[in-house]
C-alpha cells in the first residue's frame, strides 16, 4: 500500500510541474552533500526549486502532469535524479547551473565532460622518468632551461572518453582539473519541447560576437540598399553627403563645401601640365 506521504509528495511535484515554464532533470550523483545544500540555497534565491525523490516517484509525477510531452522526460531520469523547476528559459537555467560548478581533478573511470587538452608550455619537472610517463598518455616534451616543456597542445581525452588510471594521475601532477562538480542538467522541458544538455551549451562570448557581426552586416546592407531606419539614418546622411560632394568635385560645381577641393584639384592639374611641358 502506498503511503500517504508518498501520495502527497507526488501531488506536490505534479503541482510544481504544472506551475512552472521550465522543468529540468538534474543528476546530483557524486555531488558532496555540503555543496548540494549550498547550491540549492543559491538556486532558491533565484526562484529555482530543486526537489529530490525516488526515481519512480519523480516518474509518476511527470506522467500525471497534463503538460504536453512532459512524460517523455521520464527516460532522462538517470543516476541520482532530481527535478528542477524554474520560470524563464532553459538556456538561462543551464547557464546558472554551469556557473555554479567548481573544477575538480579527474578520477580514474570518470567520463570526460569535454575534450581534455594539456597545453603547450613550461613545466616544473626536471628531466627524468616523467618524460616516458607523459609520453604514455600522448604528451611530447623537450628540455628547455633544465626543465621539461610541453611542445604542443595535446588532446589527451575526447568528450565521452573514460579516463584511465595513468591519465588521472598525470593530470593531477600537471594540476589540470578537467572535471566539474555541481548539478548536472540532463534535459530540460519547455512548452512541449525537450532540450538535451548539449543543446543548451552556448558559448556566450562566441554568441555575442556573432550577434555583433550580424548587426554590422545588417547595417552595411541597409546603408548600401539605402533603406532608412532609426539606426542607420545618420550613416545614410553621411554617405549621401560624401557621394554628393564627390559628384560636385567631379563636375566642378562650385559651392562652399567643395571649393577648396576643386581649387586643389585644379592646382594639381596645372602642376602636372607644367611638369610635362618641361620634358
How confident is the model over 98-138, as pLDDT tens digits? 887 878 888 888 888 888 999 998 888 888 888 888 888 88
User: Could you tell me the CA-to-CA distances from 234 to 69, 102, 106, 216, 231 in Å, in that order?
Assistant: 50, 47, 55, 15, 8
Distance (Å, rounded) from C-alpha 63 to C-alpha 245?
71
Residues in CB range of 264: below 8 A, 6 or more apart: none
| Stretch(es) of the chain classified as CATH 3.90.105.20 | 116-178
Report the top-level CATH class of 4-101+182-201: alpha beta
What per-residue confidence (pLDDT) applies to 279?
Answer: 56
Per-residue buried b or exposed e for 106-123, using 16+ beta carbons within 10 Å of the residue's own CB: beeebebeeebebeeeeb
What per-residue confidence (pLDDT) applies to 95?
Answer: 87
Q: In the beta sheet, which residues pair with residue 26?
A: 82, 185
Torsion angle in degrees (nearest 10) through CA of 122, 128, 133, 138: 50
Element housing 105 (H / E): none
pLDDT in tens, 68-102: 999 999 999 988 899 999 998 899 889 888 887 87
Within a 13 Å sphere around the CA of 276, how many CA atoms are in the beta-carbon half?
A: 6
Confidence label for 23 from pLDDT (cuts 50, 70 and 90): very high
Burial class (CB in 10 A: 0-12, 13-18, 19+), 143: exposed
| Stretch(es) of the chain classified as CATH 3.30.70.1730 | 4-101+182-201
Query: What is the edge-to-edge ordering of all strands in the sheet holding 147-150?
Result: 121-122, 147-150, 141-144
Predicted TM-score (pTM) of the model is 0.58
CB 166 within 8 A of CB 130: no
The secondary structure of residue 152, as a DSSP letter, is S
- Identify the CATH number of the domain defined by range 116-178: 3.90.105.20
CB 69 within 8 A of CB 194: yes
Amino acid at each position: 500500500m502506498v503511503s500517504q506521504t508518498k501520495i502527497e509528495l507526488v501531488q506536490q511535484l505534479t503541482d510544481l510541474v504544472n506551475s512552472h515554464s521550465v522543468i529540468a532533470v538534474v543528476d546530483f550523483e557524486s555531488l558532496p552533500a555540503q555543496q548540494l545544500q549550498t547550491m540549492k540555497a543559491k538556486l532558491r534565491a533565484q526562484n529555482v526549486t530543486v526537489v529530490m525523490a525516488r526515481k519512480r516517484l519523480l516518474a509518476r509525477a511527470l506522467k500525471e502532469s497534463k503538460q504536453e510531452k512532459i512524460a517523455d522526460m521520464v527516460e532522462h531520469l538517470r543516476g541520482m535524479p532530481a527535478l528542477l523547476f524554474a520560470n524563464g528559459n532553459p538556456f538561462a537555467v543551464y547557464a546558472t547551473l554551469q556557473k555554479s560548478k567548481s573544477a575538480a581533478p579527474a578520477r580514474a573511470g570518470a567520463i570526460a565532460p569535454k575534450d581534455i587538452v594539456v597545453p603547450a608550455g613550461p613545466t616544473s619537472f626536471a628531466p627524468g622518468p616523467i618524460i616516458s610517463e607523459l609520453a604514455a598518455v600522448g604528451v611530447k616534451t623537450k628540455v628547455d632551461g633544465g626543465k621539461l616543456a610541453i611542445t604542443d597542445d595535446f588532446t589527451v581525452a575526447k568528450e565521452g572518453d573514460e579516463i584511465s588510471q595513468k591519465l588521472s594521475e598525470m593530470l593531477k601532477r600537471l594540476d589540470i582539473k578537467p572535471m566539474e562538480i555541481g548539478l548536472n542538467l540532463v534535459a530540460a522541458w519547455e512548452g512541449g519541447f525537450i532540450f538535451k544538455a548539449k543543446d543548451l551549451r552556448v558559448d556566450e562570448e562566441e554568441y555575442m560576437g556573432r550577434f555583433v557581426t550580424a548587426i554590422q552586416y545588417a547595417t552595411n546592407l541597409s546603408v548600401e540598399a539605402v533603406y532608412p531606419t532609426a539606426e542607420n539614418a545618420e550613416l545614410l546622411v553621411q554617405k549621401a553627403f560624401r557621394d554628393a560632394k564627390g559628384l560636385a568635385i567631379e563636375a566642378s560645381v562650385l559651392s562652399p563645401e567643395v571649393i577648396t577641393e576643386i581649387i586643389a584639384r585644379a592646382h594639381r592639374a596645372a602642376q602636372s601640365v607644367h611638369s610635362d611641358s618641361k620634358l
